[in-house]
Chains A and B, each alone.
Chain A
Amino acid sequence: MAIPVDPSPWPPLEGDFDDFFENSLCGFLTTNAKVEILRANSCIANWLGYSTEDLKGIHFSELLTIGGKIYCETHLLPLLRMQGFFDEVALELACQNGERIPVLVNAYERRDKDGKPLFIRVTVYKAADRRLYEENLRYARQVAEMKLADEQATSVLREQFIAVLGHDLRNPLGAITGGAAMLLARSSLSERDASLVSLMKDSGTRMAELIDNIMDFARARLGSGILLNRQPVLLEPVLCHVVSELRTAWPERVIETDFCLMEPIDCDAPRLSQILSNLVANALTHGSPDGPVLVNGFHEGDVFELSVSNSGKPISPKALERLFQPFTREDVRSSQSGLGLGLYIASEIARAHKGELTAASTEEITRFTFRMSTSI
Chain B
Amino acid sequence: MNALKRNNVVVGGKGSTAMMFAHGFGCDQNMWRFVAPAFEESYQTILFDHVGAGGSDLAAYSHEKYNALEGYAEDIIEIGHELRLKDAVFVGHSVSAMMGVIVAAKEPQLFRKLVLVGPSPSYINAGEYIGGFTEAQIEELLESLDSNHMGWSIAMAPVIMGNPDRKELGEELTNSFCRTDPEIARHFARTTFLSDCRDILGGARIPALILQCSNDVIAPREVGEYVHRQMPNSKLVLMEATGHCPNLSAPEETIAAIKAFL
Contact = CB atoms under 8 A, between A and B. Distances in A.
Nearest to A100: B144
A78 B145 contact: no
B226 interface: no
Given A75-B178, A90-B151, A91-B150, A65 B144 contact: yes
A66 B177 contact: no
Nearest to A117: B249
Contacts of B215: 59
Nearest to A59: B215
A206 interface: no
B175 interface: yes
B149 A134 contact: yes
B256 interface: no
Which of the four size classes fits the interface of chain A?
A: 20 to 34
A79 B175 contact: yes
A122 B181 CA distance: 25
Interface residues of B, number: 38
Nearest to B149: A90
Interface in B31-88: 31, 33
B66 to A, nearest CB: 17
Contacts of A67: 140-145, 148, 150
A78 B148 contact: no
Given A74-B94, A90-B149, A82 B143 contact: no
Contacts of B133: 66
A92 B145 CA distance: 12
Contacts of A151: none
Contacts of B147: 135, 138
B125 interface: no
A83 B31 CA distance: 11
B2 interface: no
Contacts of A34: 242-243, 249
B175 A87 contact: yes
Contacts of A35: 243
A71 interface: yes
A1 interface: yes
A68 interface: yes
19 contacts: A35-B243, A61-B217, A67-B141, A67-B143, A67-B144, A67-B148, A68-B144, A68-B150, A70-B141, A70-B193, A74-B244, A78-B27, A81-B245, A82-B33, A82-B177, A89-B175, A90-B148, A90-B149, A91-B150
Interface of B: 24-27, 30-31, 33, 94, 133, 137, 140-145, 147-151, 154, 174-178, 193, 215-218, 242-245, 248-249
Interface of A: 1, 34-35, 59, 61, 65-71, 73-79, 81-83, 85-92, 131, 134-135, 138
